[in-house]
Each structure stands twice: as C-alpha cells, then as structure tokens.
A = this chain, B = another copy of it.
Amino acid sequence: MKRNVLCTLAFDGSAFHGWQRQPNAFTAQQAVEAAVLRVTGENTPVVGCSRTDAGVHARMFCCHFRTQSAVPCAKLPAALNFYLPDALSVQCCEDVPDAFHARYDCKEKTYRYHLRNSRTRDPFLLRRAWFEGAPMDAALLHAQAQDFLGTHDFSSFCAAGADTKTAVRTVRRFEVTRESDDVFFTVAADGFLYNMVRIMVGTLTDIAKGKRPPGCIPGVLAAKNRAAAGLTAPAAGLFLWAINY
C-alpha cells in the first residue's frame, strides 16, 4: 500500500522555467521529482497544485506524490531539501488520504502581485517585482479591482492558447494596498486562467496611468475577448501566495 504525501514548498521562480516538467528546460517539478527519487529510490510523478509560468514565484506551493518509503513526514523536508537546489525549499510534508489530489482538491488560491512604484530601482527586488516609475494611486486601483469580484467569464483575462473547458471563475477577494513605494495586489479565487492575474494587474495599471477610463472593467469582462484587456504584467512580480484545501 502506497502512502500519499502532501508536500508544501516555496521557490524563487527566477531559477526555474515554471513548475511543469519540460523536455529542454529545468523546472521546479523536475527538481522535486529528482529529490524524491534520491530520498525514496522511487521514480514517481509529483503532482502540483498549479502550473506556474517561468519567473513566477511561490511563497506557498503544494504538491503530492505516492511512495512506499517509510521515511516519516517529520523527516522528509530535511531529506528532500538536502537534494534540492537552494532556490526551492520544502517547508513541510504530511500524509493525506489516498484520494487527495493537489490540484483538483484545491478550494482557493491566493496570488500576490508586487509592483515597485518608485523612480529608482531597488536592487533587492530584482526579478521579484515589476518596476513602474509613474506614480500609481493605490486607492483608485483598489476601487477598480472590486469590479472583478464575483463569478464571471474571464475570457478577456486569459492568454491565448489556454485549453480550459470553462473560463468562468469566482474571485472572492481583490485588495490593492500601498506600503511606501510598494504596491501589492492580493487576489483570491476558486481558480485562475492562464495569465489571469497578470492581465488583471496590467489592465488596472492602465487605468491608474489614465490610458483607460475608471469603470471600464465590466465592459472588458463582457467582451470575452483577450484583445479588450490591457497588457500582461511581467512574471517577476507574481507570487503564488496561499493554497487552501
């Protein structure tokens, strides 16, 4: 009888070409699968809670894998971290029911987007934030973001090439706050389409820059057309922030 292990980790996305296994690039999934192989001796697939793009970070990421290993969960993080690159760290492991699935059982995900809004760069935020010098009104951004709340067809906020069955998602929370020169967009939903957060952030900043009128979001949603929305904000500012099962 194989155990089913839920693994919570964090990674610096600048070190990986996203989560998902790829033939010609190094991904976070491959790093974890290689570490599981070293620790358990088993070549077992590690299933992630979401695909993340190249350059996107994860403060919290969940995955599961099946194993016959007897290593207790209390000792697994240190064992896995021994074989993992420094840019990825397993925080904890727990045994879960056999039917548990890291992606399908996820009830809510929270992303946080970090926009650095200052005239000069901060070298410590390199590859970890989007730098925009033009002053942005966080209160305006927050007010406009409330138009995303609720259940909508988010086709306008989905990159071309996505192959999901439905573009309907429910956004439960969208807060924009400023702390000195840092603007944080925190958005929670039952699920996200490909590039959805980055396109929402890009469209909101268009409003803050005066390129689009306040109140335009409902019309962009109704268009159900990617071309109606704004630019895709850079990957570097995006963090998968929390996962709820």
Residues of A within 8 A of B (CB): 10-12, 15, 57, 59, 77-78, 81, 86-92, 119-124, 126, 128
Closest partner residue, chain B, to A12 (CB atom)? B123
Taking a contact as CB atoms closer than 8 A, the residue among B12, B77, B119 that contacts A126 in the complex is B12
Give 4 closest A-B pairs by Cβ, nearest first: A89-B121, A12-B123, A87-B123, A86-B126
Q: Which residues on the B side are within 8 Å of A15 (C-beta)?
A: 123
Oligomeric state, in copies:
2
Closest partner residue, chain B, to A58 (CB atom)? B123
A94 to chain B, nearest CB (A): 14
Q: Which residues on the B side are within 8 Å of A88 (C-beta)?
A: 123
Closest partner residue, chain B, to A92 (CB atom)? B120
Q: Are A126 and B87 in contact (CB under 8 A)?
A: yes
How long is the Cα–Cα vector from A15 to B123 in the complex, in angstroms?
10
Closest partner residue, chain B, to A89 (CB atom)? B121
Q: Are B124 and A12 in contact (CB under 8 A)?
A: yes
Closest partner residue, chain B, to A8 (CB atom)? B120
How long is the Cα–Cα vector from A121 to B78 in the complex, in angstroms?
10
How long is the Cα–Cα vector from A122 to B77 in the complex, in angstroms?
13
Q: Can you sample 20 A-B contacts with CB below 8 Å? A: A10-B122, A10-B123, A12-B123, A15-B123, A57-B124, A59-B124, A77-B120, A78-B119, A81-B120, A81-B121, A86-B121, A86-B123, A86-B126, A87-B123, A87-B126, A88-B123, A89-B120, A89-B122, A89-B123, A91-B120
Q: Which residues on the B side are within 8 Å of A89 (C-beta)?
A: 120-123
A163 to chain B, nearest CB (A): 30
How long is the Cα–Cα vector from A89 to B116 in the complex, in angstroms?
14
**Besides A86-B126, A89-B120, 14 other A-B contacts (C-beta < 8 A):** A10-B122, A10-B124, A12-B123, A12-B124, A12-B126, A15-B123, A59-B124, A77-B119, A77-B120, A78-B120, A87-B123, A88-B123, A89-B121, A89-B123
How long is the Cα–Cα vector from A15 to B124 in the complex, in angstroms?
11
Residue from A15, A90, A91, A120 whose CB has the most chain B CB atoms within 10 Å: A120
Q: Which residues on the B side are within 8 Å of A77 (C-beta)?
A: 119-120
